[in-house]
Amino acid sequence: MTKANDAGRRRLWWKKSLWLLLLFIMVFTSGCWDRRELENLAVVLGMGLNHTPGGEGYEVSFQIVRAAQIKSPGVSSGGGEKMRPFWILRSSGPTVFEAIRNATFQSSRRLFLSHSQVLVINEAVAREGLTPALDFFIRDHEPRLSLWLLLTAEDPVQIFDASAGLEMVSSQAISDLLQQYHLTSKIRPVRLAEYVRLIMAKTTANTLPVIRTIENAGKKEFYFEGTGVIKGDKLVGFLDPIETRGLLWVLGEVQGGVITFDVPGKKGKATLEIFTSSSTVTVQVKADKIHVKIEVQVRSGLGNQTTYTDLSTPDQFKKLETRQAEVIKGEIEAALAKAREYGADIFGFGQQLYGHDNRAWQRLAADWERHFREATVEIKVKAVLVELGLTTRPVLD
C-alpha cells in the first residue's frame, strides 16, 4: 500500500521536474523574432529632407553616429587617421519611406530612427507642402513625435557637415541649442507633435525655426536666424528674430532673453533681462467681426546700461517700464503686420475661438484668412522692473 503510494509520488515528482525543465528551456532559449542588436544598427541622430536633383522624389540625408569614435575621443595616436564621429549618408526614392529603405544600398547596417532628434527640411520641399513629406514620420512607429523640425534654404547635408562646436555631432548640438531658446526667445522650437497639433487646428498657421550655415575662420558652422511661416502645410514667408519674439510674446512662450532700447531722454541704451512673461488672449466675435485682446505681463531686471545716469531710482524705473512695454508692443505689432501680410494666423486666434465660441468658429473658419486680416487687435503690455543686479548706479555718473 505505502509502496504503491511512494511509487506514485515519485512518478509525480518526475513529471513535475520534467515540466519545470521544459519551462526553463523555454524561458532561456527563446529570443525575440525581430530582435535588433546594437552592433547591427546604424543609429541615426539627424535626418534631412530635400528634393532629388531631378525634382520628382525625395532625397533623405542621415547623420549616423559612429559609436566607437564617440567612446574614445582623441585617441588618434599611432598615426591612424581619426574619423569624424559621424557619417553622412544620402539616399533618394519616390517617397520618403522608400528613400529611407534605399539607404541600405549604401549602409551595411540597418538604419535605426528612434533616436533621431532633428529633421531638417529644405525650403523647396516646404513650399510644395509638408503633408506628403512628413506623413512617414508620423505614421511609422520608429521615429518619435518629439523630433525637432527645422527649415533651411541649403542642402540639409550642409547643416550636418557643419562644425558641432562643443558637441560631437551637430544634430545633438542643434537639439541642445533649441532647448535653450529661452536665453534669447528669438527662436521658436517646434516638435513634430506640436506641428501636427497646430495643423489639425485647421485655422492656425505653423512656424518653424530657420537654420543656415555661416563661415567662421574657414570653418562652417550652423546658425539660427528667424522663423518660417507655414500656412496650411506650405511655406509662405519668414519672420525675422524680432518678429519671432513678437509671436512668442503672444503665445506666452517668452521665458527669458534680453531686450535693448534707448533710455528715454538720455543718450545711451539700457538692456533688460526678461525673467518671466505670461499672456492672455481673448477673441470675441460681434456681428462676424473679430476683436482680439492680447494682454502680456512681463517681469524683468536691469542687466546692462550704457548711459552715465543713475537708472536705479523709482522714477527712472517707471520710465524704463513704460518704454519697455512700448518696445514689446512694437515687437508684437511687427509680428502681427507680417502675419496679416501672409494671411497666416500664427497666433492661434482661430484655435482660441474654436475652444470658446465653437459656433462662431464654424461659421467663420471657411474664410478665416479674410477674418484674420480684418480683425481688430488690442494689445496691452504690463511690464514690471524688479531687479537691478548687484549695483545701483554706474561707476561714473
Partner 1 sequence: MDKERISPRQLTFLVISFTIGSWIVLPSGIEAWQNLWLIMFLSLGQGLGFAYLALLLFRRHPGKTLFEIHEIVYGPLFGKLFSLLFLWFFLQTGAGALAVFVTLLKTTVFTTTPDLALLIPWVIIVVYGCRRGIEVIARSNEPLVLATIGLIIASVFLVLNIFERENLLPLFNLPLSAVLWNSLGIAVFPFGQNVLFLMLLPKVNQPQKVMGAVFRGMVLAGLLLSLLQFLAVGVLGKVGELFVFPTYEFYRMINIGEVLTRLELIPLLNFLTMGFIKIMLCVYTMAVGTAQLFNLRAVQPLFFPLGILILLLTRQIYPSISLHLQYIKDVQPYFGLFFCLLLPLLTLGMSFLRGGPQREMAS
Among 74-82, 286-294, 296-304, 354-362, the segment contacting partner 1 (CB under 8 A)? 354-362
Cβ–Cβ < 8 Å for 212, 222: yes
Under the binding rule (CB under 8 A), the answer on residue 28 touching partner 1 is no
Nearest-angstrom CA–CA distance, 49 and 96:
8
The minimum distance between CB 260 and partner 1, in angstroms, equals: 33
Using alpha carbons, list the distances in angstroms from residue 91 to 21, 62, 96: 50, 8, 10
Nearer to partner 1, 265 or 355 (CB): 355
Q: How far apart are CA 242 and CA 334, in angstroms?
A: 8
- Candidates 10-18, 26-34, 306-314, 379-387: pick the segment binding partner 1 (CB under 8 A): 26-34
- Find the shortest distance in angstroms from Cβ 351 to partner 1: 8
Q: How far apart are CA 231 and CA 207, in angstroms?
A: 9
What is the nearest approach in angstroms of partner 1 to the Cβ of residue 34?
4
**Quick one: 88 or 196, whose CB is closer to partner 1?**
196
Name the segment binding partner 1 (CB under 8 A); options: 32-40, 287-295, 332-340, 373-381.
32-40
Window contacting partner 1 (CB under 8 A); options: 42-50, 61-69, 289-297, 348-356: 348-356
Figure out which of the listed residues 200, 390, 395, 396 binds partner 1, where binding follows CB under 8 A. 200
Give the cell for residue 349: 486666434
Among 27, 33, 77, 286, binds partner 1 (CB under 8 A): 33
Rounded to whole angstroms, the Cα distance separating 139 from 135 reads 6
As a 3-state breakdown, the chain gives helix, strand, coil percent values, each rounded to 5, of 40, 30, 30
Task: Provide the grid cell at 174.
Answer: 542643434
Q: Segment 122-141, which members bind partner 1 (CB under 8 A)?
A: 138, 141
**DSSP one-letter string for 314-362:** HHHHHHHHHHHHHHHHHHHHHHHHHHHHHT-BTT-HHHHHHHH-HHHHH
**Which of 47, 65, 279 has the alpha carbon at shortest distance from 169?**
65
Whole-angstrom distance, CA of residue 166 vs CA of residue 177: 11
Q: Which of 135, 355, 366, 386 binds partner 1 (CB under 8 A)?
A: 355
Residue 34 sits in the site that holds partner 1 (CB under 8 A): yes
The residue (of 98 and 161) whose beta carbon lies closer to partner 1 is: 98
Q: Does 358 bind partner 1 (CB under 8 A)?
A: yes
Q: Of 159 and 353, which CB lies nearer to partner 1 in the complex structure?
A: 353
Q: Which of 58, 139, 119 is nearest to 91 (CA)?
A: 58
Q: Give the total of residues touching partner 1 (CB under 8 A).
A: 20
Distance CA 45, CA 301 (A): 38
145 binds partner 1 (CB under 8 A): yes
Is residue 354 close enough to count as binding partner 1 by CB under 8 A? Answer: yes
Residues 377-396 that bind partner 1 (CB under 8 A): none
Contact positions toward partner 1, by CB under 8 A? 32-34, 138, 141, 144-146, 193, 196-197, 200-201, 351, 354-356, 358-359, 362
